[in-house]
Amino acid sequence: MRLLDAIFCDDIRQELNNKLSLMGLYNDRMVLNINKENEIMWPQPINLSALLRFSLDEEEERPGSFEFEYLLNKKNIIKINGELNISANDKSQFQLILSGIGIPLEPGNLGFSIKLYSQRKLLLNEKNESVLIISISQ
């Protein structure tokens, strides 16, 4: 099992026929437009969604739960735990959608860590400490 993609955007919507719409995709940079006249108090809550896609070999044990952490400048700012319901039809890939979560952000490097478990057994542990560079524009 391995992480194929980690895509960050403003919103993820489930569409008909098992399609997803990703709104406001970020590449490697998030630029926050700030009006000079207003004093900004950091951190600012920003809604951010994530789509993580994983490959899976048929004989591999399937994960049943996950632990996802957003990291800002290498420090944990939010942790999300949950259950995974991987369909029997998902033979080679599955995805994890984390949608519309308010995250306290400030300029710096945004990263993440993901852990997948079967019962209490750790199946995957992946970390990327700099997925998005958060900067400001005045």
The residue range of the domain holding 40 is 2-137
Burial class (CB in 10 A: 0-12, 13-18, 19+), 119: exposed
Question: In this structure, what CATH number is given to the domain that contains residue 60?
Answer: 2.60.40.10
Give me the tens of pLDDT residue by residue for the chain, a chain 138 residues long. 999 999 999 999 989 998 999 999 999 999 887 776 567 778 888 899 999 999 988 788 889 999 999 999 999 999 999 999 887 777 788 999 999 788 998 999 999 999 999 998 999 999 999 999 999 887
* Number of structural domains the chain divides into: 1
**pTM of the complete model:** 0.89
